[in-house]
Amino acid sequence: MVLETEKLDKFFKLGGREVRALSDVNLQVKRGEFVSIMGPSGSGKTTLLNMLGCLDKPTHGKVILDGEDVTKVPEKKLYEIRRHKIGFIFQSFNLLPYLSAIENVELPMEGTKKSKDERRKRANELLKMVGLSERGEHRPHRLSAGEQQRVAIARALANNPAIVLADEPTGNLDKKTGYEIVRLLGRLTVDQGATVMMVTHDSQMASETERMLFLSDGKLLAKEKEGILVEKKTKCPYCGRKLAEDSEYCPRCGKKL
Ligand code: ADP
Ligand code: MG
């Protein structure tokens, strides 16, 4: 498991009132999965993603990321976890307007061990992967909405995170571009072994993923649905070897799945 939550609660105090944004959420996500979390507005989707991304602490319960209970990690160290283990993608792209596309992708690598040349090389590879090799020098306002989101995806992957968290990534895109973005995210889980969690209130986008979960009033419903990407479960996320249903270890590279 790359990500688990145990009995996660999040309450907010609002005026004198307590808002229960999340209640007893138990979640398990395997490496290389493409999971969508569906739910109406106000059901707790963003709150859950913020907990998973260590942007906020739960009121009770655990968030276990790559084997580590991050609710026990002091704030100072959380910054490093966010930077190295998590990639974020937002509805509004959140690119820095005064930097070029390639500089936006390089940004999360600043202050890491990579040299300037290595950072540029990695950023170029990532832009190529999202189909924007030719657009690296453009500032965000010169790019279409779909292109900006692809830059944001490249940026999210810069430090090779264990998990990519996307909050309504297609919310500001037209339907066709939205599908392209979701399929690109799906391809990352197949080709790069990335784990992607996508929050959306759009059931058509959700059905493009592998596994659909449902939040309602802060509770994760017991029902789950399979999306169209489900067949890809038959590939090892590390080496791409075809797998039998429910294999625990990859027969080629030996890694635990
Ligand atoms: P969603 O992303 O599914 O639309 P949210 O996670 O944003 O839902 O919100 C879930 C619930 O928690 C809502 O009732 C919302 O008003 C409440 N909430 C979220 N953030 C805060 C906050 N910082 N303070 C108070 N209430 C909040
Ligand atoms: Mg939200």
pLDDT in tens, 143-158: 999 999 999 999 999 9
Q: Alpha-carbon distance 153 to 87, whole Å?
A: 8
d(CA 62, ligand 1 centre) in Å: 19
Residue 19, ligand 1, Cβ within 6 A: yes
Alpha helices, DSSP H only, in 42-157?
Answer: 45-52, 75-85, 101-106, 116-129, 145-156
d(CA 19, ligand 2 centre) in Å: 15
Ligand 1 atom with minimal separation from the 13 CA: 25
> pLDDT for 148-206, tens place per residue?
999 999 999 999 998 999 999 999 999 999 999 999 999 888 878 889 999 999 999 99
Distance of CA 51 to the CA centre of its chain: 13
Residue 47, ligand 1, Cβ within 6 A: yes
Ligand 1 atom with minimal separation from the 218 CA: 10
User: Average per-residue pLDDT in the chain?
Assistant: 92
Domain ranges of the chain: 3-94+164-234
By C-alpha distance, which of 205, 206, 211, 234 is closest to 223?
211
Average pLDDT over residues 98-119: 96
Residue 42, ligand 1, Cβ within 6 A: yes
Place of tokens 């430090």: 159
On the question of pLDDT at 250 being above 90, the answer is no
Q: What is the pLDDT of residue 192?
A: 80
By C-alpha distance, which of 194, 200, 205 is closest to 90?
200
What confidence tier does 235 reach under pLDDT thresholds 50, 70, 90?
confident
On the question of pLDDT at 132 being above 90, the answer is yes
d(CA 46, ligand 1 centre) in Å: 7
Q: What is the pLDDT of residue 237?
A: 73
d(CA 166, ligand 1 centre) in Å: 17
pTM beyond 0.75: yes
CATH of 3-94+164-234, one of 3.40.50.300, 3.40.50.150, 3.40.640.10, 3.50.50.60: 3.40.50.300
Q: Tally Cβ neighbours within 10 Å of residue 209.
A: 28
On the question of pLDDT at 69 being above 90, the answer is yes
- Token reading at 144: 């279409």
> pLDDT for 8-22, tens place per residue?
999 999 889 999 999
On the question of pLDDT at 245 being above 70, the answer is no
Atom 16 (ligand 1): residue with closest C-alpha?
Answer: 42
Mapped onto helix, strand or coil, the DSSP state of residue 187 is helix
* CA 12, 14, 18, 20 torsion-angle sign: negative
SS (H, E, C) 173-238: CCHHHHHHHHHHHHHHHHHCCCEEEEEECCHHHHCCCCEEEEEECCEECCCCEECHHHHHHHECCC
